[in-house]
Protein backbone atom coordinates (compact mmCIF):
# COMPACT_ATOMS: atom_id res chain seq x y z
CA UNK A 1 0.00 0.00 0.00
CA UNK A 2 2.97 2.30 0.45
CA UNK A 3 3.36 3.17 -3.23
CA UNK A 4 0.48 5.46 -4.13
CA UNK A 5 -0.71 6.29 -7.61
CA UNK A 6 0.39 9.76 -8.86
CA UNK A 7 -3.21 11.05 -8.85
CA UNK A 8 -3.90 9.54 -5.43
CA UNK A 9 -5.81 11.42 -2.76
CA UNK A 10 -3.44 12.99 -0.27
CA UNK A 11 -3.87 14.70 3.08
CA UNK A 12 -3.27 18.07 1.39
CA UNK A 13 -6.18 17.57 -1.02
CA UNK A 14 -8.75 16.29 1.49
CA UNK A 15 -9.77 19.77 2.67
CA UNK A 16 -10.80 20.64 -0.88
CA UNK A 17 -12.74 17.38 -1.17
CA UNK A 18 -14.58 18.16 2.08
CA UNK A 19 -15.34 21.73 1.00
CA UNK A 20 -16.67 20.57 -2.39
CA UNK A 21 -19.26 18.21 -0.94
CA UNK A 22 -22.29 19.82 0.69
CA UNK A 23 -23.06 16.80 2.84
CA UNK A 24 -19.47 16.09 3.88
CA UNK A 25 -18.89 19.63 5.07
CA UNK A 26 -22.35 19.99 6.66
CA UNK A 27 -21.74 16.87 8.76
CA UNK A 28 -18.48 18.40 9.97
CA UNK A 29 -16.11 15.71 8.72
CA UNK A 30 -12.57 16.06 10.13
CA UNK A 31 -9.57 14.24 8.75
CA UNK A 32 -7.70 12.64 11.68
CA UNK A 33 -5.05 10.68 9.83
CA UNK A 34 -4.21 9.62 6.31
CA UNK A 35 -1.57 7.40 4.77
CA UNK A 36 -1.64 5.45 1.50
CA UNK A 37 -4.26 2.74 2.02
CA UNK A 38 -5.47 3.92 5.45
CA UNK A 39 -7.71 6.85 6.46
CA UNK A 40 -9.21 7.97 9.77
CA UNK A 41 -11.93 10.62 10.14
CA UNK A 42 -14.02 12.03 12.99
CA UNK A 43 -17.42 13.69 13.38
CA UNK A 44 -18.72 15.46 16.48
CA UNK A 45 -22.31 14.50 17.24
CA UNK A 46 -24.99 17.19 17.42
CA UNK A 47 -28.78 17.02 17.35
CA UNK A 48 -29.09 16.96 13.53
CA UNK A 49 -26.92 13.83 13.43
CA UNK A 50 -28.99 11.76 15.87
CA UNK A 51 -31.84 9.27 15.76
CA UNK A 52 -34.87 9.14 18.06
CA UNK A 53 -32.93 8.00 21.17
CA UNK A 54 -30.41 10.80 20.75
CA UNK A 55 -27.66 8.43 19.58
CA UNK A 56 -25.68 8.97 16.39
CA UNK A 57 -27.93 8.14 13.43
CA UNK A 58 -27.14 4.99 11.45
CA UNK A 59 -26.95 7.15 8.34
CA UNK A 60 -24.02 9.05 9.86
CA UNK A 61 -22.32 5.81 10.89
CA UNK A 62 -22.86 4.43 7.37
CA UNK A 63 -21.63 7.69 5.84
CA UNK A 64 -18.41 7.51 7.85
CA UNK A 65 -17.76 3.87 6.95
CA UNK A 66 -18.36 4.56 3.25
CA UNK A 67 -16.21 7.70 3.32
CA UNK A 68 -13.13 6.13 4.91
CA UNK A 69 -13.43 3.18 2.50
CA UNK A 70 -13.62 5.48 -0.52
CA UNK A 71 -10.82 7.75 0.72
CA UNK A 72 -8.58 4.81 1.65
CA UNK A 73 -9.07 3.50 -1.91
CA UNK A 74 -8.52 6.98 -3.40
CA UNK A 75 -5.30 7.34 -1.40
CA UNK A 76 -3.93 4.40 -3.42
CA UNK A 77 -5.55 4.58 -6.86
CA UNK A 78 -6.84 8.14 -7.36
CA UNK A 79 -10.40 8.96 -8.43
CA UNK A 80 -13.04 6.49 -7.24
CA UNK A 81 -16.75 5.96 -6.66
CA UNK A 82 -18.34 3.56 -4.20
CA UNK A 83 -19.71 0.51 -5.97
CA UNK A 84 -21.29 -1.17 -2.95
CA UNK A 85 -20.84 -1.68 0.76
CA UNK A 86 -22.21 -3.85 3.53
CA UNK A 87 -22.30 -2.62 7.09
CA UNK A 88 -23.07 -4.33 10.39
CA UNK A 89 -24.31 -2.03 13.13
CA UNK A 90 -22.89 -3.54 16.33
CA UNK A 91 -24.00 -1.15 19.08
CA UNK A 92 -25.79 2.19 19.49
CA UNK A 93 -23.53 5.14 18.59
CA UNK A 94 -23.65 6.71 22.05
CA UNK A 95 -21.26 9.55 22.84
CA UNK A 96 -19.96 12.93 21.83
CA UNK A 97 -17.81 11.93 18.90
CA UNK A 98 -17.59 9.25 16.22
CA UNK A 99 -14.41 8.11 14.52
CA UNK A 100 -13.95 5.75 11.56
CA UNK A 101 -10.91 3.97 10.21
CA UNK A 102 -10.83 2.57 6.68
CA UNK A 103 -8.14 0.45 5.07
CA UNK A 104 -7.47 -1.22 1.76
CA UNK A 105 -7.71 -5.03 1.71
CA UNK A 106 -6.78 -5.34 -1.96
CA UNK A 107 -6.32 -2.79 -4.72
CA UNK A 108 -6.97 -4.06 -8.23
CA UNK A 109 -7.04 -2.34 -11.62
CA UNK A 110 -10.76 -1.69 -11.71
CA UNK A 111 -11.78 -1.99 -8.07
CA UNK A 112 -10.44 -1.70 -4.55
CA UNK A 113 -11.78 -3.86 -1.71
CA UNK A 114 -11.71 -2.05 1.61
CA UNK A 115 -12.91 -2.45 5.15
CA UNK A 116 -13.84 0.00 7.90
CA UNK A 117 -14.63 0.16 11.60
CA UNK A 118 -16.62 2.95 13.24
CA UNK A 119 -16.24 3.89 16.90
CA UNK A 120 -18.19 6.06 19.35
CA UNK A 121 -16.38 7.97 22.07
CA UNK A 122 -18.25 8.66 25.29
CA UNK A 123 -16.45 10.50 28.07
CA UNK A 124 -13.13 9.41 26.63
CA UNK A 125 -14.04 5.73 26.25
CA UNK A 126 -14.01 4.42 22.67
CA UNK A 127 -16.27 1.55 21.62
CA UNK A 128 -16.75 -0.13 18.23
CA UNK A 129 -20.25 0.54 16.83
CA UNK A 130 -20.03 -0.74 13.25
CA UNK A 131 -17.91 -2.69 10.80
CA UNK A 132 -18.12 -2.56 7.02
CA UNK A 133 -16.78 -4.19 3.86
CA UNK A 134 -16.87 -2.15 0.63
CA UNK A 135 -16.06 -2.39 -3.06
CA UNK A 136 -14.78 0.90 -4.46
CA UNK A 137 -14.66 1.31 -8.24
CA UNK A 138 -11.70 2.99 -9.88
CA UNK A 139 -12.73 5.87 -12.16
CA UNK A 140 -10.70 5.59 -15.34
CA UNK A 141 -9.38 8.84 -16.70
CA UNK A 142 -10.40 9.36 -20.34
CA UNK A 143 -7.49 8.65 -22.70
Task: Point out which residues bind a copy of itself (CB under 8 A).
Answer: 17, 20-24, 26-27, 46-52, 57-60, 62-63, 66-67, 81-91, 105-106, 108, 110-111, 113, 115, 128, 131-133, 135, 137
Q: SS3 of 48, please?
A: helix
Burial class (CB in 10 A: 0-12, 13-18, 19+), 50: middle
Alpha carbon distance 43, 60 (integer Å): 9
CB nearer to a copy of itself: pick between 34 and 69: 69
Provide, rounded to whole angstroms, the least separation between the CB of residue 89 and a copy of itself.
6
Provide, rounded to whole angstroms, the least separation between the CB of residue 10 and a copy of itself.
16
Taking CA atoms, 58 is separated from 7, 23, 51, 92, 132, in Å, by 32, 15, 8, 9, 13
CB nearer to a copy of itself: pick between 23 and 123: 23
Alpha carbon distance 43, 105 (integer Å): 24
CB nearer to a copy of itself: pick between 6 and 106: 106
Q: Residue 80: name the closest of 40, 60, 110, 41 by CA.
A: 110
Cα–Cα–Cα angle for 127, 133, 139, rounded to 5 degrees? 130
Provide, rounded to whole angstroms, the least separation between the CB of residue 9 and a copy of itself.
12
CB nearer to a copy of itself: pick between 30 and 131: 131
Provide, rounded to whole angstroms, the least separation between the CB of residue 92 and a copy of itself.
8
Provide, rounded to whole angstroms, the least separation between the CB of residue 17 and a copy of itself.
7
Amino acid sequence: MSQAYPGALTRERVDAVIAASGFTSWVGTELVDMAPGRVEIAVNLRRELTQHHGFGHGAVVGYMADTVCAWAAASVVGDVVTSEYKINLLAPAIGQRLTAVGSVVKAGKSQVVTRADVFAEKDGVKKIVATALATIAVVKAPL
